[in-house]
Chain A
Amino acid sequence: MPIATDVLDIALRVEGLKKSFGANVAVDDVWFRIAKGETFGLLGPNGAGKTTTISMICGLIAADAGTVDVYGTRIAAGSPRGRRLIGYVPQELAIYPDLSGRDNLRFFGRLYGLRGAEAERRIDEVLDVVALRDRAGDRSEEYSGGMKRRLNIAAGMLHEPRLLILDEPTVGIDPQSRNAILDAVAALGDAGLSVLYTTHYMEEAERLCDRLAIMDGGKIKATGTRRELVSMVGKHDVVNLTVSRAARAAAEGLRALPGVRSATAQDDRTVSVLADGAAALLPDIIGTFAGTPIHVQGVEVLEPSLDAVFLHLTGTALRD
């Protein structure tokens, strides 16, 4: 999807966003745009600065520098201006456990001015979207983890926002519930809603997002469609080696091999190698350890993917 240039076609414009907490720079000069109707993923490990970025976009915390505009409306911390345009689904389960699902939605709806018949109509609609209508009258503390997550999402889209922001909405839930949530988000994207989706799950980003930004250490490392990002890596493959010991030393040895772009120890026994033509290079890679106390116990060759992109850009693998 092409990057929109007309202001009316830009759902979110983030320019030069910075935020520090003491000496810790959480977000460092972040720029990106989301087009109207686009699902945009912010992909990065825990601590990358995704939640801080979202908090500034939603006006929850003040930026040290930079601006946020949602459909041309400037968002500022402490000001209600423009908030109605945004639907925010926080990472935490921000619902009241002693209230039923429906009463939770009624309360959050009132904060956006939704009352009476209009509120009930919208509540029914979002309950249908997240498949919770039959349990709407139950106290939310009786819900499963997945149901609570879905209610969390329903509360964010109740007031028909034009930009839905979801901060790691599938953390800590079972695969079935995760699929249900991903289906719901995909449906919202298909319906034309602009979505900002943060995750550290590669497969979610690949499945849902039209475009992605890869974030690490508070910075945006790259932005583009999946195809654009993968093309940055070229024909490189990722080879994950499981070794008997000393992964760091193993990585050191592998870096000297011709064709190896990078080799990084992910933990004590795993080495990720970015290589040109991994299949052809595999005998050399394994042969590196001949005559050493390090034994190769497993080999996994990955086709070019966002994993490879992340490894290429940050030097580390993106892990759950």
Chain B
Amino acid sequence: MRVILDILWHDVRARMRDRSAIIVGFVAPVALIAVLSLIISGPDTEKQPIGVVAGGSPTLQQALRRGALDPMVREGVITVHDYPNAGAARKAVIDGDVDAAVLVGDDGLDVIHGDAPVGSAMAITAARATGDLVDTVGRVITAERILGASSDAGVAAVAGRLQRAPSTVALGDVGQKVAGIDAKTQVASGLATFFLFFTVQFGVLSLLYERRTGTLARVLAAPVAPWQVLAAKVGVSFVLGLLSMTALILTSRLVLGTHWGNPVGVALLVLCGVLAATSTVALVAGVARTPEAAGFAQSMVALVLGILGGSFFSMARAGGASAVFTRLTPHHWFGEGLVRLTGGASWTAALLPCLVLLAFAAVVGVPGAFLARRAVRP
């Protein structure tokens, strides 16, 4: 065990010393998160136009307006536009007059929005619209639960309590769960998981570099079993991933004001997400023959998983095969876990995404570890 820690500590220090892990795992994502956050919340950003369809339950209408929309209007976040019916609201959404519209029914709410656009600027707008709407609708649904289906009383009192409400809702238009996290957090989590898959390569892939330079042969000539070397290198990937994610979450929380949810739940998500990323790089190291090939393959894997997983824009909203593929990525389930943790939810809300991430790690990591053993040779 001691020799594993010796190799692990040596490698982590080396990556810190040459700053490679710091740049990829911290500096680059923080810079991108900061820039994108500035774009999202910059002073020139226009208010979000949101439509509301008249009718439906008066209780819900009141709760929606007084409990959710009015405070956001007062904060200058949104503008509200009224529409007489769903058809008019839908046309307004399609024409781009509003980013989305809320349809008030007799016993619930639906959100109307257009198909997800592709492209960074539009994705940011969509992310913001989604986040705001989900906040809005989530609060209203809570209000509905509190008030009961038939009572009009106590709406004003309830409105004051809506700030702490959970905020997830089924969208009638696309039948998808939509994140209740704000746009900044969404950007931060997407980029953090995207860069995580680059950061972890500094551990396991160093096996291939050290094999080339001969230092691996020297290490293997010592009283060290090959599995101990592999365990140490996997450990390096895991530790670097963990450090990167922790630093990014704390920095974005403290500097940019992102909201990640229950700390225990987030910690579990991070652990499972890093494990999934480490498993992926182990598989790549086991398959690749040269360090260059491994680096290229891992970059491709990180890019494809990042795009499919919604690190830049939601593939789920594109529908069809994309919506299926996105569910095969760790990125999606990390984001899903964050969604479930928003609004004061308990850490247990992240259990299902954590289990999926662990399953991903097992499916990829077991053959990965088996194949990566081949890389542990002089």
Contact = CB atoms under 8 A, between A and B. Distances in A.
B217 A110 contact: no
B11 to A, nearest CB: 10
A80 B217 contact: no
Interface in A80-132: 80-81, 83-84, 86, 88, 90-96, 98-99, 107-108, 110-113
Contacts of B14: 96, 98-99
A95 B223 contact: no
Interface string B208-239: 00000111011111111110000000000000
B6 interface: yes
A92 B214 contact: yes
Interface residues of A, number: 30
A55 B378 contact: yes
B18 interface: yes
B225 A80 contact: yes
Q: Counting chain A CB atoms within 10 Å of each CB, which of B213, B215, B224 scores highest?
A: B215
Contacts of A84: 223
A83 B218 CA distance: 11
A167 to B, nearest CB: 10
A107 B10 contact: yes
Interface residues of B, number: 22
Contacts of A58: 221
Given A107-B10, A110-B3, A83 B215 contact: no
B145 interface: no
A180 interface: no
Contact of A92 (B6, B17, B217): B217
A94 B217 contact: yes
Contacts of B81: none
Contact of A90 (B6, B214, B226): B214
Contact of B215 (A55, A80, A81, A96): A96
A110 B221 contact: no
B164 interface: no
Nearest to B228: A80
Contacts of A96: 14, 215
B91 interface: no
Interface of A is mostly: loop
Q: Counting chain A CB atoms within 10 Å of each CB, which of B14, B213, B223, B225 scores highest?
A: B223
Given A90-B218, A95-B215, A155-B218, A107 B6 contact: yes
Q: Counting chain B CB atoms within 10 Å of each CB, which of A59, A60, A81, A86 scores highest?
A: A60
Nearest to A83: B223
Given A90-B214, A92-B217, A94-B217, A83 B10 contact: no
A171 interface: no
B79 to A, nearest CB: 57
Given A78-B225, A98-B14, A98-B17, A60 B217 contact: yes
Contacts of B18: 98
A112 B222 contact: yes
A80 B214 contact: no
Nearest to B3: A111
Given A80-B223, A98-B14, A111 B378 contact: no
Nearest to A97: B213
A78 B226 contact: yes
B257 to A, nearest CB: 38
A111 B219 contact: yes
A176 interface: no
B222 A83 contact: yes
B47 interface: no
A178 B376 CA distance: 32
A60 B10 CA distance: 22
Contact of A108 (B214, B222, B225, B226): B222
A108 B6 CA distance: 10
A60 B221 contact: yes
A304 B14 CA distance: 53
A91 B378 CA distance: 12
A294 interface: no
B215 A94 contact: yes
Contacts of B289: none
Interface in A55-82: 55, 58-61, 78-81
Given A90-B214, A96-B215, A111-B3, A61 B222 contact: no
A25 B15 CA distance: 40
A152 B7 CA distance: 19
Nearest to A91: B214
A80 B224 contact: yes
A88 B218 contact: yes
Contacts of A79: 225
Contacts of A90: 214, 217-218, 221, 378
A61 B224 contact: no
Contacts of A108: 218, 222
A62 B188 CA distance: 49
B214 A94 contact: yes
Nearest to B229: A111
Contacts of B221: 58-60, 83, 86, 88, 90
A94 B220 CA distance: 12
A111 B214 CA distance: 16
B377 A60 contact: yes
A80 B14 CA distance: 25
Contacts of B223: 80-81, 83-84, 111-113
Contacts of A91: 214
A88 B213 CA distance: 15
A90 B220 CA distance: 11
Contacts of A60: 217, 220-221, 377-378
6 contacts: A58-B221, A59-B220, A84-B223, A90-B218, A94-B217, A111-B219
7 closest A-B pairs (Cβ-Cβ)?
A92-B214, A80-B223, A94-B214, A111-B222, A88-B221, A94-B218, A83-B223
Interface of A: 55, 58-61, 78-81, 83-84, 86, 88, 90-96, 98-99, 107-108, 110-113, 155-156
Interface of B: 3, 6-7, 10, 14, 17-18, 213-215, 217-226, 377-378
